[in-house]
Amino acid sequence: MNRSSYPKQFRMYIVRAVEHLADALHGHTLSPNAAEREQYLQILEYALQLPEIWPDTYRLIALLDPLFEQSGIRDEWLSYLAEGIRLSIRLDEGKNAAYLNLSVSYLHQLCGRKDNAREHIEISHVLFSKCDHAIGIAKCNLRLANVARLDGDLDEADKFLNEYGLFAAKYNATTNNSEFLELQELAHFLTGSIAFDKQKWQEAEGSFHKLLTLREARQQPRPIALGLLNIGPVYRNQQKHNEAIAFYTRAIQLFKEIQDPVYAGIAQMNLGVVYGSMDLPQRAIDLYQDAEPVLRNAQSIRQLAMLYNNMGIEFRKLNEWCRAKNAYIASIEWWRVLNNPIALANVQDGLGLTLQAMNRSCEAQHVLKDALCQLSAHKSHPAYQALFDEINGHLNQVNTEIES
pLDDT tens for 366-396 read: 999 999 998 988 888 888 899 999 999 999 9
Q: What is the per-residue pLDDT across 106-158, written as a single tens digit (0 to 9) for each? A: 999 988 888 999 999 999 999 999 999 999 999 999 999 999 998 888 999 99
Q: Both 287 and 330 in a single domain?
A: no
d(CA 118, CA 136): 15
Q: State the pLDDT confidence band at 179, using cuts at 50, 70 and 90.
A: confident
Q: With 50 as the cut, is the pLDDT of residue 264 above it?
A: yes
Residues 317 and 404 in one domain: yes
Given 239, 274, 296, the domain boundary residue is 296
Out of 134-138, 172-176, 202-206, 378-382, which region has the weakest mean confidence (pLDDT)?
A: 172-176
CA atoms within 13 A on the CB side of 401: 18
* Of 149-158, 317-326, 349-358, minimum mean pLDDT range: 149-158
Residue 241 and residue 304 in one domain: no
Distances in whole angstroms, Cα of residue 206 to Cα of each of 92, 254, 270, 359? 43, 23, 20, 46
Task: Report which residue type is found at 97.
Answer: A
Cα first-last separation, the chain = 76
Q: How far apart are CA 94 and CA 275, in angstroms?
A: 48
Q: Which domain holds residue 285?
A: 195-296
Neighbours of 177 (CB within 10 A): 14
- Both 285 and 201 in one domain: the answer is yes
Query: 283 and 321: one domain?
Result: no
Domain co-membership, 314 together with 244: no
What is the pLDDT at residue 384?
86
- Identify whether the C-beta of residue 128 lies closer than 8 Å to the C-beta of residue 116: no
Q: Which one of 296, 321, 350 terminates a domain?
A: 296
Alpha helices in 111-177 (DSSP H): 114-130, 134-150, 154-170
pLDDT of residue 218: 86
The reported pTM is: 0.81
Task: Kindly state whether residue 365 falls inside one of the protein's structural domains.
Answer: yes
State the chain's mean pLDDT as an integer: 92
Whether residues 221 and 256 share a domain: the answer is yes
The pLDDT tens digits for 23-74 are 998 877 778 888 999 999 999 999 999 999 999 999 999 999 999 988 888 8
Domain boundary among 261, 296, 331: 296
Is 4 a residue whose pLDDT tops 80? no
Q: Is residue 127 part of a domain?
A: no
Q: Are residues 201 and 285 in the same domain?
A: yes
Highest mean pLDDT among 7-21, 145-159, 350-364: 350-364
CATH (domain of 327): 1.25.40.10
Percent of the chain whose predicted confidence (pLDDT) is above 70: 97
pLDDT of 3: 53
- Do 404 and 309 lie in a common domain? yes
Q: In a 10 Å sphere around its CB, with 0-12 CB exposed, 13-18 middle and 19+ buried, how is residue 92 labelled?
A: exposed
Q: How many domains does the chain have?
A: 2
Q: Are residues 369 and 336 in the same domain?
A: yes
